[in-house]
Amino acid sequence: MDALLLSRWQFAVASFFHFLFVPLTLGLSVLVAMMETKYVRTGDETYKRMAKFWGRLFLINFALGVVTGITLEFQFGTNWARYSSFVGDIFGSLLAVEATVAFFLESTFIAVWVFGWDRLSKKMHNAAIWIVAIATNLSAIWILLANGFMQNPVGYVIRNGRAELDSFYEVVTNGFGWSQFFHTVSGAWMLAGFFVMGISAWHLLRNNEMDFFKRSFKFGAAFAIIFSVLVAVQGHHHGNQVARLQPTKMAAMESLWETEKPAGMSLLVIPDEANERNLVEFLKIPYVLSILAFNDPMAEVKGLKEWPKEDRPPVTLTFLSFRAMVGLGTLFIALGAMAWLWRNKIETKRTLLRVLVYAIPLPYLALEFGWAVAEIGRQPWIVWGLMRTENAHSVGVSATQVAVSLGAFFVVYTLLGLIDFFLLRKYAVKGPEKASTSEPKAA
Amino acid sequence: MLETIWFILWGVLWAMYFVLDGFDFGIGTLMPFLAKNETDRRIMYNAQGPFWDGNEVWLITAGGVTFAAFPEVYAVMFSQLYTPLYLLLFALIFRGVTFEFRHLSESPTMKKFMDICHVLGSFLPALLLGVAFSNIFMGLPLENGVSQGSFFGLLNPYALAGGLLFVTAFCYHGAVWLAIKSPASMRQRAIRAAEEIWPALVLLAVVFLAASALATDLYANYLKYPFLLFIPMIPVAGLVLTRVALGKRNLWQSWIFSAATIFGTTAFGVAGIFPALLPSSIGPEHSVTIHNGASSPLTLQIMLGVALVMVPAIILYQAWVFKHFSFQIKEEEMIY
């Protein structure tokens, strides 16, 4: 294996692992902030216990999100040095802005929240978690604008052998990046909703702290239904952009080999990449793909054969990831709707509660599949149409060096992932601290 | 001009990072020497608790700004220091998770494992950052952006002296901070540790300044522009004043002078390599400088605007946090 292939694996491992922690951070910070606001407004101690309980799960998750994020920043320089010098002017500045505008706030004020319970006024303390929640989501904007530049480069000129900034305004108003942001963040808030519902469901099934977990459940259910719908609506809009700006990705998402006008969509497809065809195409519904791609039943959708092989992304992976994401997304809307509908008598809906416990990992999977579509579907380009991935890796870094660091990542990430999982599970199962009447007074 | 401003900001960001995360690394490194029991260890975690995360972002920003303002430097620096940077990264990963993981683990074995991770995750970054920056001060064997040297070539005597200097300076800095934050049970021990580290720090600083004359070209700029000599005066004065203040038990003052020492030492090296950010030991034509390594003027302008607004804001709110959370720890209200 050469340094390029190993670096690709390493980036995949690092980014997919990082993204196990990010979405919960995005959504749960907002939920905890809302719970604490409710406490400040009503003075009801249950909401304070809710903020503390869910806040602790947030913190366990947050720790790994932060440390695995540094890895990604480092990797652009260590493993993708030619990419870094080619787009540093634009991509680097977005990362730097993210750090100064958002990440500093998030990291500084999370500690204020943890250490400030008895040292700050209620309102100040509540403000700290809101700052964390806003900064976390603000940070997603900058990161996704940076990714948006890789997907749909705008606002640059090629000069001195690199992409130089031509219009910062165009870069930060990149519609593709914003669309990715709304899609990702809706998905993340939905995931947080399912996380809170799932853990609440587990306790409701065991009659633990019924009042506490019924209230928590309602917070989760609201997020789950609102954002599972939004992520789908937004996803459709985003699909239109992909069809227009990244037609090879769209063709791979559907495993569409021949150009069709109008294009239909088969419910069951087994791609046969080697022979540039589909082994099975079953239950074809006419017009659907044309509508999905261009909102026009008669629109032409280009097939993969329109492009030379070296310009096409890996089809099977892109296709399967997309189908899995969409399939799960549909399930989330159904589950979210049922949970919301029955939120006031949820303790009687035991089957749904059981399903919701098992549903906890599903949004994680769906979000990872979504990123697989975005990133694998972008291949062979690292910057769409401008730079190929194979030309982006570092010169002077040997395959051995990358192999060793990749091995270390496997070991370290597995270990940390396991500890994190067991801690999350342990504290989720343990439930909230017992309600006490003798709260320590503020110093 | 823009490039020069960014060069200065680049140096300032790294120096800020060393000052701020430096005391965390110092406390972590000192843990096996200063902590006798579980309470002591918890005090040491809690002394860093409200700060370390915000401190670490200065590293992310220093890295991000290198990427944005000097992409070529970012590419060469990070790829050619591949192995030490990955060691640094893993150390930071382990250090970062220990706070939350240790406090939530109930088994003593797990706590012990996390303590080991914490100590190594504090000591290694201090050492590696010192070694990496000393190598940059010496010049890397760069030819057309690729290093001709090996990982073991980085472990030369000058760089190791630099690494040791960083470790010692951070330990001193951490001991003073620990003295500020600790309850009485720990405070005296922390002060005594600082007093004992100080002579070693002075010795290493003298060795490092002298070795810089032999192993590097850092002094060339100072000979050319003698007014720059005020820069090395900062760490020298800081080193003396921090001890004086410590003797008077004026801990905050002592900590600020210690910060000035770390800041000044970094500035001394950075001013010495100007206008290169990555000098090449093979020949100056292979150096990555502010001229051949910088972003386009437009990026530099926009980033300067962002920095001029955000950096003062960050300093203000972080100062607020330092002010509010530098209270003496009470054992019964420890979080970790």
Q: Amino acid letter at B90?
A: F
A76 touches chain B (CB under 8 A): yes
Q: Span B40-57, mean pLDDT?
A: 91
Q: Span A147-162, mean pLDDT?
A: 92
Alpha carbon of A78: minimum distance to chain B alpha carbons (Å): 4
Closest chain B residue by Cα to residue A92 = B68
- A342: in domain: no
- The 10 Å CB-count burial string (b at 16+, else e) for B189-220 is bbbebbeebbeebeebbeebbebbeebbbbbe
Question: In a mutagenesis test of the A interface, which of B42, B94, B97, B328 is the best target, namely the one with the most A β-carbons within 10 Å?
Answer: B97
Q: What are phi and psi of A170, to 5 degrees?
A: -65, -40
Among A189-193, A366-370, B100-104, the range scoring the smallest mean pLDDT is: B100-104
The whole-angstrom separation of Cα B132 and Cα B153 is: 11
Touching B: A residues 409-438, CB under 8 Å: 412, 416, 419-420, 423, 426-427
Cβ of A112 within 8 Å of Cβ of B61? The answer is: no
Which of A107, A79, A108 lies closest to A13 in space, CA to CA? Answer: A79
Alpha carbon of B41: minimum distance to chain A alpha carbons (Å): 18
pLDDT for B249: 92
CB atoms within 10 A of CB B237: 15
Confidence of residue A442 (pLDDT cuts 50, 70, 90): very low
The whole-angstrom separation of Cα A225 and Cα A228 is: 5
Q: What ipTM does the predicted assembly reach?
A: 0.89
Cβ of A81 within 8 Å of Cβ of B78? The answer is: yes
pLDDT for A295: 86
Touching B: A residues 83-112, CB under 8 Å: 84-85, 87-93, 95-101, 103-105, 107-108, 110-112
Distances (CA, A) of B6 to A85, B1, B12: 17, 9, 10
Whether B29 shows a pLDDT value over 50: the answer reads: yes
Q: Which of A93, A110, A397 sits opposite B303 (nearest CB)?
A: A93
Cβ of B68 within 8 Å of Cβ of A95? The answer is: yes
- A93: in domain: yes
- Taking contacts as CB-CB distances below 8 angstroms, the residues of chain B near A105 are 317
- Taking contacts as CB-CB distances below 8 angstroms, the residues of chain A near B145 are 81, 395-396
Closest chain A residue by Cα to residue B77 = A77
Whether A438 shows a pLDDT value over 70: the answer reads: no
Plot region of A287 (φ>0 → left; ψ -120 to 50 → alpha; else → beta) = left
A280 touches chain B (CB under 8 A): no
Cβ atoms of B278 and B136 closer than 8 Å: yes
B326 touches chain A (CB under 8 A): no
Confidence of residue A427 (pLDDT cuts 50, 70, 90): very high
The whole-angstrom separation of Cα A312 and Cα A251 is: 9
- pTM score, two decimals? 0.91
Q: pLDDT, tens digit, for every residue of B141-155? A: 888 888 888 888 889
Q: Which of A63, A74, A164 sits opposite B89 (nearest CB)?
A: A74
Cβ of A93 within 8 Å of Cβ of B295? The answer is: yes
Q: pLDDT, tens digit, for every residue of B120-172? A: 999 999 999 999 999 999 998 888 888 888 888 889 999 999 999 999 999 99
pLDDT for B327: 86
Q: pLDDT, tens digit, for every residue of B263-276? A: 999 999 999 998 99
pLDDT for A441: 44
- A318: in domain: no
**DSSP letters of B29-73?**
HHHHHH--SHHHHHHHHHHHTTTHHHHHHHHHHHHHHHHHH-HHH
Q: pLDDT, tens digit, for every residue of B201-229? A: 999 999 998 999 888 888 989 989 999 99
Cβ of B90 within 8 Å of Cβ of A164? The answer is: no
Please give the domain boundaries of chain B with CATH numbers for all domains.
1-325 (1.20.1630.10)
Distances (CA, A) of B255 to A419, B32, B120, B123, B249: 36, 22, 24, 20, 11
Residue A56: both structure tokens together: 């602790």
Cβ atoms of B50 and B321 closer than 8 Å: yes
- The 10 Å CB-count burial string (b at 16+, else e) for B27-66 is bbbbbeebbeeeeebbbbbbbbbbbbbbbbbbbbbbbbbb
Whether A443 shows a pLDDT value over 50: the answer reads: no
- Taking contacts as CB-CB distances below 8 angstroms, the residues of chain B near A84 are 67, 71, 74-75, 78
The whole-angstrom separation of Cα A133 and Cα A125 is: 13
Distances (CA, A) of A443 to A110, A121, A125, B317: 20, 11, 14, 22
- Taking contacts as CB-CB distances below 8 angstroms, the residues of chain B near A159 are 296
Cβ of B145 within 8 Å of Cβ of A397? The answer is: no
The whole-angstrom separation of Cα A156 and Cα B174 is: 45
Over the Cα atoms of chain B, what is R_g?
20
Which residues lie below 8 Å from residue A11, measured CB to CB, with a gap of 6+?
Answer: A75, A79, A80
pLDDT for B281: 87
Confidence of residue B13 (pLDDT cuts 50, 70, 90): very high
- The 10 Å CB-count burial string (b at 16+, else e) for B148-162 is beeeeebebebbebb
Question: In a mutagenesis test of the B interface, which of A18, A107, A117, A120 is the best target, namely the one with the most B β-carbons within 10 Å?
Answer: A107
pLDDT for A261: 83
Alpha carbon of B209: minimum distance to chain A alpha carbons (Å): 31
Confidence of residue B333 (pLDDT cuts 50, 70, 90): confident
Cβ atoms of B115 and B336 closer than 8 Å: no
Q: Which of B70, B82, B298 sits opposite A397 (nearest CB)?
A: B82
Q: Which of A70, A93, A104 sits opposite B92 (nearest CB)?
A: A70
Cβ atoms of B178 and B258 closer than 8 Å: no
Touching A: B residues 94-113, CB under 8 Å: 94, 96-97, 99-101, 104-105, 110
- A369: in domain: no
Q: Span A87-116, mean pLDDT?
A: 92
Q: pLDDT, tens digit, for every residue of A382-400? A: 999 989 998 898 888 888 9
Cβ of A77 within 8 Å of Cβ of B314? The answer is: no
Touching B: A residues 181-220, CB under 8 Å: none
A155 touches chain B (CB under 8 A): no
- A52: in domain: yes
pLDDT for A437: 54
Helices then strands (H, E): number in chain B?
A: 12, 4
Whether A189 shows a pLDDT value over 90: the answer reads: yes
The whole-angstrom separation of Cα B275 and Cα A142 is: 31
Cβ of A111 within 8 Å of Cβ of B51? The answer is: yes
Q: Span A10-32, mean pLDDT?
A: 94
Closest chain B residue by Cα to residue A82 = B75
pLDDT for B153: 85
- A148: in domain: yes
Among A12-16, A187-191, A296-300, the range scoring the smallest mean pLDDT is: A296-300
Cβ of A396 within 8 Å of Cβ of B146? The answer is: yes
Question: B175: exposed, middle or buried (C-beta count within 10 Å: 0-12, 13-18, 19+)?
Answer: buried
Touching A: B residues 13-72, CB under 8 Å: 49-51, 53-54, 56-57, 59-61, 63-72
Q: Span A279-300, mean pLDDT?
A: 85
Touching A: B residues 175-204, CB under 8 Å: none
A119 touches chain B (CB under 8 A): yes
Q: How many domains does chain A have?
A: 1
Residue B280: both structure tokens together: 């090449």
Cβ of B298 within 8 Å of Cβ of A166? The answer is: yes
Confidence of residue A260 (pLDDT cuts 50, 70, 90): confident
pLDDT for B329: 87
Q: pLDDT, tens digit, for every residue of A64-75? A: 998 898 898 889
Whether A298 shows a pLDDT value over 90: the answer reads: no
- A285: in domain: no
Cβ of B64 within 8 Å of Cβ of A82? The answer is: no
pLDDT for A436: 65
Which residues lie below 8 Å from residue A346, measured CB to CB, with a gap of 6+?
Answer: A201, A204, A214, A217, A221, A339, A352, A353
The whole-angstrom separation of Cα A15 and Cα B87 is: 19
Alpha carbon of A138: minimum distance to chain B alpha carbons (Å): 14
Residue A200: CA atoms inside 13 Å, Cβ hemisphere, count?
A: 26
User: What does the CA dihedral B28, B31, B32, B35 come to, rounded to 10 degrees?
Assistant: -170
Residue A74: both structure tokens together: 């480092």
- Taking contacts as CB-CB distances below 8 angstroms, the residues of chain A near B327 are 119
Plot region of A302 (φ>0 → left; ψ -120 to 50 → alpha; else → beta) = beta
Q: pLDDT, tens digit, for every residue of B239-258? A: 999 999 999 999 999 999 99
* Domain range enclosing A194: 3-246+390-430
* Pairing mode, strands B146-147 and A387-388: unpaired
Which residues lie below 8 Å from residue B3, measured CB to CB, with a gap of 6+?
Answer: B275, B290, B291, B294, B300
Residue bearing tokens 């500035």? B267
The whole-angstrom separation of Cα A202 and Cα A302 is: 47
Whether A440 shows a pLDDT value over 70: the answer reads: no
Q: pLDDT, tens digit, for every residue of A225-242? A: 999 999 999 999 999 999
